[in-house]
Amino acid sequence: MTRYIFIVGGVMSGIGKGVSCASIGKILQSSGHKVSAVKIDPYLNSDAGTMNPVEHGEVFVTEDGLECDQDIGNYERFFDQNMYRYNYMTTGQVYHSVIIKERSMYYNGKCVEVVPHITEEIIKRIELAGAKTKADFLLIEIGGTVGEYQNMVFLEAARIMKLRHSSQVMFIMVSYLPIPKMIGEMKTKPTQHAVRALNSVGIQPNIIIGRSSAPIDNPRKRKIAIFCNIGEEDVISAPDSDNIYEIPLNFEKDKMSQRIFFHFGMQTKKGDLKEWKKFSNKYRRLTRPVKIAVIGKYFSTGKFVLSDSYISVIEAIKHSSWSLGFKPEIHWLDSEEYETNPEKLKELKKFNGIIVPGGFGARGVEGKIKVIKYARMNKVPYLGLCYGMQLAVIEFARNESKLKNAHTTEVDPKNPHPVINILPEQEEKLKNMNFGGSMRLGTYPCELKKDTISFKAYGEKNILERHRHRYEMNNDFREKLEQAGLVIAGTNPQKNLVEIIELKNHPFFVAVQFHPELKSRPLRPHPLFREFIKAAAKRK
């Protein structure tokens, strides 16, 4: 029997609902239960692939090739478990399937309505996820905050599920408790209003997680309890933490799992978070820094700098650095600055390693190429991810193979030296404006060449990695590039596509067509990131 825990947001977004959801799952998993999660994105987009990363954060990719919300990445990292298509749902997907059914007379002449047809489709999808995963606990994170039009229909579906299976469903609200400077006191009123809003759609939370800059004291717990109609012990304090992996431990300080078992009428089982604790506590003791520069362009919205667009890259750096005993310092560098001010390149000297992560389009590309050239010539450890590999090939072709102005057809379709070219099956898709979910997505095999850095890192010949791209290295130029010293360290055995390039006579220059960052887990750092950090730490 699957028990369903709905996680809803109150007061405002961006306060860590996804990490809360992942943390609750982690705790329940640690007590020997099977857990899984569903993220509901209340957007009309069918998936996250068409959303701008600056607005929506990183596009995560599952094994089975779904482009989804970054929270799925949090679930994978916290549960150490792969997620699949059924772990993600958008408003767009739900409406789309109802409309398709309507066109095929599935509803037998009935008027098709938001309630019950959309709500039933939502419930069906949630129950399917429960059945597919055979989870004891399925956490369902409803995106957005209560009171928005956008997620109303999902709350309605959740209410109906509670009505049908009362003992199998519970609600947790993640709310925000501001401490305004001019008052100097933690205020509970916004949370009270959020709970009223939730009550008005027929839902009463069982537990409230109070996010704030400080822990919740007892008088405030009492206040929340009485005004929000819950027990004091059901108010869980969630103060800001600079290490997300500590959050499950923080929740347990307020006995989160005990409260969940209580609400489901289950016996309390003590969880074993020893390994997790060891891993997340380590971070406080680390002093030896490793300075990594990440060169990208999806950072700024107005005056604010966001790193959410590269969240998996950040986490992968952390996993490896922590496991090797280093304190990572990640520096965000805007690729466009190297185009207008080449002098800036000199500043790269101070970093131990450089990463060029995935990206699209022409903006910032020449800046990234300059940085890659710097890393190659000055022997700075370099890890290229997807676009970071394609641009490394371009840089090498231009400067080592004398293919002047070589480029990718993504930026320069008429280039005489298209060392990076569109995949044949992608050409048709672009012509037909078929942009949604149509890239080379998900897991593909890769065969490694012996005596390469990659082969040593993985310790095996055949690996599987996740992809998200339309372009690839052009095999017509392979020989020429190899003659100039480029090492083809990994290829896809079915299509003979180049998946990894490396350089000799360099402490670490590895660039991959796939996204290793998506598969790095806290207690199982990704081998390429691990070797990259190792090499970086050695650099003076």
Catalytic positions, please? 386, 515, 517
Judged by beta carbon, residue 63 or residue 127, the one nearer ligand GLN is 63
Whether the bond into 116 is cis, omega within 30 of 0: yes
* 470 contacts ligand GLN (rule: CB under 6 A): yes
* 386 contacts ligand GLN (rule: CB under 6 A): yes
* 514 contacts ligand GLN (rule: CB under 6 A): no
* 384 contacts ligand GLN (rule: CB under 6 A): no
Comparing C-alpha atoms, which of 211, 62, 40, 228 is closest to residue 139?
A: 40
Which residue among 387, 396, 477, 529 contacts ligand GLN (CB under 6 A)?
387
Least distance from C-beta 471 to ligand GLN, angstroms? 3
Which residue among 16, 49, 147, 358 contacts ligand GLN (CB under 6 A)?
358
Per DSSP, the residues of 441-466 read EEEEEEEEPTTSHHHHHHSSSEEEEE
Comparing C-alpha atoms, which of 416, 335, 342, 315 is closest to residue 60?
A: 315
Question: Contact region for ligand GLN (CB under 6 A) — 19-27, 155-163, 236-244, 357-365?
Answer: 357-365
Q: Restricting to residues 34-93, which ones interact with ligand GLN according to CB under 6 A?
A: none
Q: Restricting to residues 155-194, which ones interact with ligand GLN according to CB under 6 A?
A: none
CA distances (Å), 480 to each of 388, 474, 488, 492, in order? Answer: 20, 11, 12, 20
| Site size toward ligand GLN, by CB under 6 A | 11
* 468 contacts ligand GLN (rule: CB under 6 A): yes
Comparing C-alpha atoms, which of 398, 393, 380 is closest to residue 486?
A: 393
146 and 114 in contact (C-beta within 8 Å)?
no
Judged by beta carbon, residue 150 or residue 438, the one nearer ligand GLN is 438
* Residue numbers belonging to the annotated binding site: 13-19, 71, 141, 187-192, 223, 359, 387-390, 410, 470
Question: Contact region for ligand GLN (CB under 6 A) — 10-18, 157-165, 262-270, 464-472?
Answer: 464-472
- Cβ partners under 8 Å of residue 189, min gap 6: none
Judged by beta carbon, residue 249 or residue 391, the one nearer ligand GLN is 391
* 359 contacts ligand GLN (rule: CB under 6 A): yes
* 368 contacts ligand GLN (rule: CB under 6 A): no
Per DSSP, the residues of 480-503 read HHHHTTEEEEEE-TTT--EEEEEE
Judged by beta carbon, residue 86 or residue 471, the one nearer ligand GLN is 471
- Cβ partners under 8 Å of residue 463, min gap 6: 445, 446, 448, 490
* 410 contacts ligand GLN (rule: CB under 6 A): yes
Least distance from C-beta 58 to ligand GLN, angstroms? 11
Which residue among 471, 508, 509, 514 contacts ligand GLN (CB under 6 A)?
471
Which residue among 125, 223, 469, 519 contacts ligand GLN (CB under 6 A)?
469
Number of other CB atoms surrounding residue 232 within 10 Å = 12
On the 0-12 / 13-18 / 19+ scale of CB atoms within 10 A, 337 is middle
* 407 contacts ligand GLN (rule: CB under 6 A): no
Judged by beta carbon, residue 168 or residue 415, the one nearer ligand GLN is 415
Residue 341 CA to its chain's centroid (Å) = 32
Question: Contact region for ligand GLN (CB under 6 A) — 93-101, 140-148, 341-349, 386-394?
Answer: 386-394
Residue 378 CA to its chain's centroid (Å) = 32
Judged by beta carbon, residue 8 or residue 371, the one nearer ligand GLN is 371
* 466 contacts ligand GLN (rule: CB under 6 A): no
Least distance from C-beta 440 to ligand GLN, angstroms? 8
Half-sphere exposure of 246 (CA within 13 A, CB side): 12
Question: Contact region for ligand GLN (CB under 6 A) — 95-103, 143-151, 369-377, 466-474?
Answer: 466-474
* 444 contacts ligand GLN (rule: CB under 6 A): no
Judged by beta carbon, residue 103 or residue 414, the one nearer ligand GLN is 414
On the 0-12 / 13-18 / 19+ scale of CB atoms within 10 A, 113 is exposed
Pairing state between β 418-422 and 407-408? parallel
Q: Quick one: residue 286, left, alpha or beta (phi over 0 = left, psi -120 to 50 = alpha)?
A: beta
CA–CA separation, 5 vs 271, rounded Å?
18
Angle between helices 17-30 and 70-79 (to 10 degrees): 20
Least distance from C-beta 469 to ligand GLN, angstroms? 3
Judged by beta carbon, residue 47 or residue 141, the one nearer ligand GLN is 47
What are residue 176's DSSP bridge partners?
A: 211
Name residue, tokens 């590269």: 310
Question: Contact region for ligand GLN (CB under 6 A) — 12-20, 80-88, 98-106, 383-391?
Answer: 383-391
Judged by beta carbon, residue 125 or residue 368, the one nearer ligand GLN is 368
Least distance from C-beta 420 to ligand GLN, angstroms? 8
Question: Contact region for ligand GLN (CB under 6 A) — 125-133, 199-207, 286-294, 384-392?
Answer: 384-392
Which residue among 255, 279, 360, 488 contacts ligand GLN (CB under 6 A)?
360
Least distance from C-beta 445 to ligand GLN, angstroms? 19
Number of other CB atoms surrounding residue 255 within 10 Å = 15
500 and 512 in contact (C-beta within 8 Å)?
yes
* Chain length of the chain: 540
Amino acid sitting at position 55: E
Residues lying near ligand GLN in the complex (CB under 6 A) are found at 358-360, 386-387, 390, 410, 468-471
